[in-house]
Amino acid sequence: MIRGSAITLRRGGRSVLEGIDLDLVGGEVLALVGPNGAGKSSLLGVLAGEFVPEVGVVELDGRPIGSYSNAELARRRAVLTQEYTVTFPFLVREIVAMGRAPWARRPEADGDDEIIEASMAETDVARFALRRTTELSGGERARVALARVLAQRTSIVLLDEPTAALDLGHQEQVMLLARRLADGGRAVGVVLHDLSLAAAYADRIALLHEGRLIAIGAPAEVLTAERVGAVYETPVRVVEIDGVPVVVPIRH
């Protein structure tokens, strides 16, 4: 699990994150939400050990995250960024296989082929396994990147807007997948824009605003009409459908 305390991050002289305490534990989906520029991706980067906070500590399984080598980190946590571009025309399967790189020359590498196939099946990319990634659409590339992250088989999975480029069906599919990973005991941290999607699949929601953690807890506790309206500067109504809060802007 990842434990971050009093995280303060500055970039370009500007404070991006301010005194954030946050845990990510196995078995849960934690959604990071908030307006553009709230610091969601930065927080995810800090939890991934990629950005080093000026103040505060991030611990991974009880050890400071900075004390792990890149290779050790890659066997513990996988990260999906919003950057899906691949420089050279690798085949989809080759890209997914790259997710196995941290396990090369280890006993875990024995299962590489099955893991690669399973990861492609779960993300619905197996159909174009032998196409070049450079020929795919944005949404297809996003799913290939997700398949690669899955193939890494880490106990912690961090996803930065995995649904941004996806259609409705694939959005649901990806969040179901995140749900299943968590139910299997993994820790899933996911940045989302769609509050209703977050409410439907996350165990906890962390609402960020201007680098601060405004609220964290169960979806129904965090997503109140008043709070969401204030943070997003847009009046909203929160209705409940099948026991899950759904956030709808009030449009006149």
Partner 1 sequence: MTRSRSAAIVVVAMAVLLLGAVLASALLGQLPVTPAEVGQTILRALGVPLPAGDPVIEGALQVVRFPRILLTLLVGAALAVAGVAMQAVFGNPLAEPGVVGISAGAAFGAGIAIALGLSGFGIWTTAVFAFLGALGAAAVVYLVARSQGRTEVVTLLLTGIAVNAFAGAGLALMLFLADSGSREQIVFWQLGSMSGSRWPEVGIVAAITVITGIGLLLQHRRYDLLALGERGARHLGVDVERLRVVTIVGVALLTGAAVAFCGIISFVGLVVPHLIRMMIGPGHRGLILASAVGGALLLTVADLLARTLVTGADLPIGMLTSLVGGPFFFWLLYRQRRRSGGWA
Positions touching partner 1 (CB under 8 A) are: 48, 50, 69-75, 78-79, 81, 83, 85-91, 94-95, 98-99, 101-102, 104, 132, 134, 148, 152
Q: How far apart are CA 198 and CA 194, in angstroms?
A: 6
The CA-to-CA distance between both ends of the chain, in Å, stands at: 45
- Our CB check for partner 1 shows the closer of 100 and 209 to be 100
| 84 φ/ψ sector (left φ>0, alpha ψ -120 to 50, else beta) | alpha
Q: How far is the CB of 65 from partner 1 (least distance, A)?
A: 13
Residue 32 near residue 22 (C-beta atoms within 8 A): no
- 250 phi/psi in degrees, rounded to 5: -85, 115
Q: Which residues contact 87 (CB under 8 A, 6 or more apart)?
A: none
Could you tell me the smallest distance in angstroms from the CB atom of residue 203 to partner 1? 24
Q: Which amino acid is residue 71, in one-letter code?
A: A
Backbone angles phi, psi at 18, to 5 degrees: -130, 110
Q: Closest distance between partner 1 and the C-beta of residue 95, in Å?
A: 8
Cβ 111 to partner 1 shortest distance, Å: 17
Residue 212: other Cβ atoms inside 10 A:
15
Note whether 31 and 198 are within 8 A (CB).
yes
Min CB(166)–partner 1 separation in Å: 19
